[in-house]
Structure 1
Amino acid sequence: MQLGLLAGPLLTMVDSSIVNVAVPDIASELHAGLATAQWVVSGYLLALAAGLTTTSYLARRFGTMRVYAAALAAFLLASAACAAAPGIGALIAARAVQGFTGAPLVPLAMSVLLGRQGRERRIPVAAGLLFFLAPAIGPSLGGLLIAADGWRWIFLINLPVGAVALLGVRRLPPEVAPPAEGHTRLDPLGLLLLGAGLVSVLFGATHGWTEPLSLVTLGGGGTLLFLYARWARHTPSPAVDLTLLRHGRSALALALSVTSSVVAFAAVFLLPVFTQSVQHHSAFATGAALLPQGLITGVGIAAGQRLAARHGARALVTTGFATLALASAGLLLLTAATPLWATALILSGRAAAIGFGITPLLSVMLDPLTDAQLADGNTLFNIAQRLGGSLGVGVLGSLLATRAAHVGAVPAFHEIGLILTVAAAGAALVSLRLPGRVAAQPVSA
């Protein structure tokens, strides 16, 4: 049963990173400049952000599973269009459609999976394994497919996997997800404010912090998001319900989850730059070194779910962040001669800490919500992580490039490692404010 719910999110998360290694080949074959070809990546991410804004409304209006199945089918059609694209313009357009239609897959799948777990709302181990493995497997898989038969196969491979997932979705019983409300009102102004704000902030975060256009879009996007937050407080059916943020401990858990994501994925995105440009490892070897952390995260989630029941959320999350800080300190030891297995070992230690800390954070964050509100809660979680992750990687990436030009690549990367270590240690202190245990009152729809 979980196959249909896991394959869709896996595909869209892998596709967020798999194309990165194909940009030079795409530019060469389609006779485009690298700056133009880069929009194959950027267009997908910006459209995905825009698609997130419609997820909650569509789930309430038409039903979670119906929207999930339609989004997955549309994602597969867009993947086929990407593979058949005759030119760079058609490919960028198809990638934008792919990003927009893939946006609902992660929050809706998580809504169903968490809703099925009862009051504890635990992440299934298979889900944790795949979701954290996906960003790491993308570059490795992309390199293999390109070497085997060209860049078009990075899109064609989605079709058989997605077809199997669609068959799995059709076999799901209707009661696994909340039914459609049908009468939900559309919030056009909220969708406009939230969608334009997200796209503007992400554009600014991913296109250089020294460019005036990036600073303008960041400021404008932040203003639009602020206006949406004010609007959502006073409209009966907002595009994404921000009720979760009115609960202090839920807002704290959300902030800590975003911090965990930034500390985790900043290394995933920035470390390949170090291993390839400084240590001169291949993209495939770097990808292989990133793979174990996905497996370790899945094991950490399984252990975390057992430990949370015994020791409570506060103790487990605090210990997780403290362990993450210690493991991140290992980044300060990396040099040009550090073997790749040692880097993989450091990343695995970080992954274990994140794995057994994320489950109790999700439990605390979603605790006040009913099953019917899970789509909003998970959509907000995905929006916050995408914003936080993009801003974090953008700031740290810009800092790494600037400092490397002044002090050298290795000292600059050590400075980034120190920032990640301090951030994790600070989160450990803040997590002491979490509740000891999640309340066990029943949830009603």
Structure 2
Amino acid sequence: MTDVLADAADGAAAHRGSAGLTLAAAALGFFVLTLDTQVVTVAMPVIGTELNGGITSLQWVVSGYTLMLAALLLSAGSLSDRIGASRAFAVGLAAFTAASAACGVAPELGVLVAARFLQGAAGAVLLPASLALVRQAYPTAVARARAVAVWTSAGGAAMAAGPLVGGLLTTTLGWRAVFYVNLPIGLVGLLALIRSPRSLPRRAPFDLPGQLSATLALAAVTYAVIERSVVATAVFCVAAAAFVIVERRSTHPMIPPRLVRLPAVAVPAATGLALNFAFYGAVFLLALYFEQVHGLSALETGLMFLPMTALITVVNLLAGRLGTRCGPRLPMALGQVVLLGGVCGLLALREDTPLVVQAAVLLPFGIGGGLAVPALTAVLLESVDAGRAGLAAGLLNAGRQFGGALGVALFGSLAAGGAVVAGLHMGAIVGAAVLAVTTTATVVLVRPRTTMDPSDTR
């Protein structure tokens, strides 16, 4: 009897150990993925100077990454199921680490942009697989909730620390260090995964025509905005129409038309896109504004962004409590209003604006984003049954990533020729208009839970 109890205790301890390593690997993967989006933005002006690139080239360095992440996220979940989450995570993290090394040694902007595309593709595989690993390692609801909180906090820590880390690395070691920092993190994550249980693959439908047409449409519209190409605009229109036709006819569509017809799905998805459009478009130009217009170093620029990113992490927690008391629609709408105020505050920035005013303009970005994102996620997940939760979350994340890519593309295009302040002002007007539309939609269309039948794939 004693031997049996000892064996059971050893088995439980081994499970806890392997689950802890799995969680550590998943959290590191999410951390490095989030960190990369923050550290690179601060290094952009220095990259442009050293590699002789203008705003258009820098737009592709940022947008190329988020574009691939957005385009492949929806299908990446199916890929994770088909080959197993542990294998998908290992492939994604290894590819992301290798692409980071390629970014670090890039001799010219063309090579850097190509490596950033590879980083985004690897990140699309990595992100859903990391959360699937957590789900598999912790089968009970209570333990899983704690593990997901750890996983989420890893992203929050990366978001808060990213600008400062990026500025510090760029100032002390050069811009290449913001990519090299991913290498040790990626290697530690892969080592932690070695002791984790292997995930079993299962059959999962893969919508190849939908994936191809979606990728072409997103790439074409991004190219059209950055390069102001009529041909790319036409390609986007054709690819988008093809995507709609394919999804309506597919037995297992990547985005079921019935899903996006639900206001409680469509509005949060559109809101997530609008938030990232305004947020990342503004942050891209603000980094140029701080360093090129006001002459701040990369480290000083990181410090300027630090209160904003720290606020996002803090307000995320407060948003959850507010949503519990008042329902998620209030913080979702309130967050958009606050962020809209921050976007309008960009109109006050000039070449001689004091630093204290610049810092104050950034605060509503952190508060608004921190309030709205957890709430819109809650609204969306409440609108679908468990069988569609993963697909709905994938739709939201893909929309947010594409919104960020489109925001950088448009805001950067408005500042073409070095007119950073004028670009900020024009971008602020566009961003405020987009947020006004989604805020109105939130107030008018989002209502209590109306769910989609998980068996309805059309």
Q: TM-score range by the shorter chain?
A: 0.7 to 0.9
- 1:338 is the counterpart of 2:358: no
- 1:204 is the counterpart of 2:204: no
Q: State the Cα deviation string for residues 345-395 of structure 1 (Å, max 9, x = none).
A: 321222112212211211121234454544433332232223333333333
The match for 1:71 among 92, 95, 106 is: 92
> CA separation of 1:46/1:299 partners in 2, compared to 1, >3 Å: closer, same or farther?
closer
Q: Is the 8 A contact 2:62 2:408 kept in 1?
A: no
Counterpart-to-counterpart distance in 2, 1:272 and 1:36: 15
Counterpart-to-counterpart distance in 1, 2:403 and 2:181: 30
The offset of 1:34, in angstroms, is 10
The offset of 1:23, in angstroms, is 3.0
Counterpart-to-counterpart distance in 2, 1:401 and 1:35: 7
The offset of 1:304, in angstroms, is 0.7
Q: Is the 8 A contact 2:171 2:297 kept in 1?
A: no
Counterpart-to-counterpart distance in 2, 1:73 and 1:385: 24
The match for 1:275 among 290, 299, 302 is: 290
Amino acid across the alignment from 2:259: L
Amino acid across the alignment from 1:144: L
Q: Is the 8 A contact 2:29 2:93 kept in 1?
A: yes
Counterpart-to-counterpart distance in 2, 1:243 and 1:339: 51
The match for 1:165 among 169, 176, 189 is: 189
Counterpart-to-counterpart distance in 2, 1:417 and 1:328: 5
**Number of residues of Structure 1 aligned to a counterpart in Structure 2:** 428
- 1:27 is the counterpart of 2:51: yes
Give the aligned partner of residue 212 of structure 2: 192
- 1:295 is the counterpart of 2:310: yes
Which range is displaced more, 244-253 or 389-398? 389-398
Q: Is the 8 A contact 1:4 1:166 kept in 2?
A: yes
Counterpart-to-counterpart distance in 2, 1:271 and 1:414: 11
Give the aligned partner of residue 431 of structure 1: 442
Q: Is the 8 A contact 2:263 2:446 kept in 1?
A: no
Counterpart-to-counterpart distance in 1, 2:156 and 2:60: 25
- 1:244 is the counterpart of 2:265: no
Structure 1, unpaired ranges of 5+: none
**TM-score under structure 2 normalisation?**
0.77
The offset of 1:267, in angstroms, is 1.8
Q: Is the 8 A contact 1:49 1:199 kept in 2?
A: no
The match for 2:428 among 417, 435, 439 is: 417
Trace 1:266-415 onto structure 2 (pairs within 5 A): 266-371=281-386, 373-401=388-416, 410=421, 413-415=424-426
Amino acid across the alignment from 1:66: R
- 1:224 is the counterpart of 2:235: no
Report % sequence identity: 30
Q: State the Cα deviation string for residues 225-250 of structure 1 (Å, max 9, x = none).
A: 33112212221233455553132221
Q: Is the 8 A contact 2:67 2:405 kept in 1?
A: no
Q: Is the 8 A contact 1:57 1:240 kept in 2?
A: no
Counterpart-to-counterpart distance in 1, 2:348 and 2:448: 37
Amino acid across the alignment from 2:33: T
Amino acid across the alignment from 1:429: T
> CA separation of 1:70/1:369 partners in 2, compared to 1, >3 Å: closer, same or farther?
farther
**TM-score under structure 1 normalisation?**
0.78
> CA separation of 1:81/1:272 partners in 2, compared to 1, >3 Å: closer, same or farther?
closer
Counterpart-to-counterpart distance in 2, 1:37 and 1:422: 25
Q: State the Cα deviation string for residues 384-440 of structure 1 (Å, max 9, x = none).
A: 2233333333333333448x86xxx65664454344444434433321135455579
Q: State the Cα deviation string for residues 78-125 of structure 1 (Å, max 9, x = none).
A: 334444668877666544433321222334445677998969999966
> CA separation of 1:12/1:201 partners in 2, compared to 1, >3 Å: closer, same or farther?
farther
Q: Is the 8 A contact 1:266 1:393 kept in 2?
A: yes
Counterpart-to-counterpart distance in 1, 2:131 and 2:293: 38
Which range is displaced more, 435-444 or 364-373? 435-444
> CA separation of 1:412/1:156 partners in 2, compared to 1, >3 Å: closer, same or farther?
closer
Counterpart-to-counterpart distance in 2, 1:152 and 1:118: 42
Give the aligned partner of residue 15 of structure 2: none
Q: Is the 8 A contact 1:200 1:221 kept in 2?
A: yes
> CA separation of 1:411/1:85 partners in 2, compared to 1, >3 Å: closer, same or farther?
closer
> CA separation of 1:370/1:298 partners in 2, compared to 1, >3 Å: closer, same or farther?
same
Counterpart-to-counterpart distance in 2, 1:37 and 1:390: 12
The match for 2:172 among 128, 139, 148 is: 148
Q: Is the 8 A contact 1:78 1:94 kept in 2?
A: yes
> CA separation of 1:426/1:243 partners in 2, compared to 1, >3 Å: closer, same or farther?
closer
Counterpart-to-counterpart distance in 2, 1:129 and 1:442: 32
> CA separation of 1:89/1:389 partners in 2, compared to 1, >3 Å: closer, same or farther?
closer
Counterpart-to-counterpart distance in 2, 1:419 and 1:202: 16
Q: State the Cα deviation string for residues 290-323 of structure 1 (Å, max 9, x = none).
A: 1221111111110111111110122222222222
Q: State the Cα deviation string for residues 167-186 of structure 1 (Å, max 9, x = none).
A: 455566779xxx6432x344
Counterpart-to-counterpart distance in 2, 1:78 and 1:393: 21
Structure 2, unpaired ranges of 5+: 1-19
The offset of 1:328, in angstroms, is 3.4
